[in-house]
Amino acid sequence: MRRSTLAAAGAALALTVALTGCGATSTSGGSASGASTGSSAEAEAPQTPGLNVPVTVGAFEFTALAAADVGTTVGESPLSQTAQGSFYRLDLKIANVGDSPETFIVNYVTLEDADGKTYDADTLATMYAGGDAQTWVAAINPGNAVEGPLLFDLPAGTTPVKLIVRDNLLSGGTAIALG
C-alpha cells in the first residue's frame, strides 16, 4: 500500500513539475507609478516580511516559522533520503483564508540565494522529514491550516536569503526574508 501511494504521488508530482516548466518565475513586486512619497531607497526596496510574519497570497496565508541546515540525510531506513549537498529545512504554516477549499502543493514555494538562484523543495525528503508530511500536498478547507517541514537539497555553502510563496503555479510569488 505504501509503495503504491508513493508511486501515485510521484506520478502526480512529475505531471505537476512538467506543467510548471512554463510558469512565471518573476519575484519582483515593484510598482510602475511615478509618484514618490519617500526616499528613492524606500521606493525601490519595500520592507520584505520575515520569519513568523504571515504573508497572504491569494487564498493562502503563509508563515515561515523556522529555518535551519539539517545535514545530509533525512528519515529512517528504508524511508530515507540523502542530499546531493545538504538539506535545508523550512518549517511552514499554510492557512486557507479564502472562501472555498484550496489545494497547496510543494511546487508553490521556492528558495532563493543572494545570487538570485532558485531552488525547489525535495519532495521525497519533505515526505520523509517526519510527521504526516502535509506540506508537500494538502487540500485545505477555508479557515483550516497545515503546518510542517519543507526540505531543500542545496549545494554545500549555499545560504538562502528568501522564500518565494505562490498561490498557484503561474503566479510570480511574494518573498519572505529568511535572514
What confidence score (pLDDT) does residue 12 get?
42
The whole-number pLDDT of residue 173 equals 94
Binned average pLDDT, 10 residues per bin, the chain of 179 residues? 40 39 38 42 71 97 96 91 96 97 95 96 88 79 95 95 95 93
Rounded CA-CA distance 5/104 in Å is: 18
pLDDT at 136: 82
Residue 44, phi then psi, degrees to nearest 5: -85, -30
Looking at residue 83, what is its pLDDT? 96
Predicted pLDDT of residue 132: 60
160-165 vs 109-113, strand pairing mode: antiparallel
- Bridge-partner residues for 109, per DSSP? 165
pLDDT at residue 10, as a whole number: 46
Which residues on adjacent β-strands are paired with residue 179?
A: none
Q: Report pLDDT for 87.
A: 97
Predicted confidence at residue 17, as pLDDT, reads 38
Radius of gyration of the chain (CA): 17
The answer to whether 100 touches 142, Cβ cutoff 8 Å, is yes
* pLDDT score, position 45: 57
> How high is the pLDDT of residue 23?
37
| 106 alpha carbon, distance to own chain's centre | 6
pLDDT at 30: 39
